[in-house]
A and B are shown apart, each in its own frame.
Chain A
Amino acid sequence: GQSLEQPSEVTAVEGAIVQINCTYQTSGFYGLSWYQQHDGGAPTFLSYNALDGLEETGRFSSFLSRSDSYGYLLLQELQMKDSASYFCAVRNYGQNFVFGPGTRLSVLP
Chain B
Amino acid sequence: DAGVIQSPRHEVTEMGQEVTLRCKPISGHNSLFWYRQTMMRGLELLIYFNNNVPIDDSGMPEDRFSAKMPNASFSTLKIQPSEPRDSAVYFCASSPGLNEKLFFGSGTQLSVL
Contacts and interface: CB of A to CB of B under 8 A. Distances in A.
Interface in B62-113: 91, 93, 98-99, 101-107
B89 to A, nearest CB: 9
> Which applies to chain A's interface (DSSP): helix, strand, loop or mixed?
strand
Chain B contact-residue range equals: 20 to 34
A30 B45 CA distance: 17
A94 B56 contact: yes
Given A43-B91, A44-B104, A95-B55, A102 B43 contact: yes
> Which applies to chain B's interface (DSSP): helix, strand, loop or mixed?
strand
Interface centre among A43, A44, A87, A102 (most CB of B within 10 A): A43
A22 B109 CA distance: 28
B98 A95 contact: yes
Contact of A45 (B55, B56, B99, B101): B101
Contact of A97 (B42, B50, B102): B102
Interface residues of A, number: 23
Nearest to A6: B42
Contacts, number: 53
A42 B45 contact: no
A101 B42 contact: yes
A31 B107 CA distance: 25
Contact of B43 (A30, A94, A99): A99
Contacts of A30: 98-99
Given A42-B104, A44-B104, A48-B101, A95 B43 contact: no
Contacts of B33: 96-97
A99 B31 CA distance: 17
A30 B31 CA distance: 16
Interface of A: 30-31, 33, 35, 41-45, 48, 50, 87, 89, 91, 94-102
Which 10 residue pairs of A and B lie closest in terms of their CB atoms, listed nearest first?
Answer: A42-B104, A45-B101, A99-B43, A30-B99, A101-B42, A43-B104, A96-B48, A96-B56, A42-B106, A42-B107
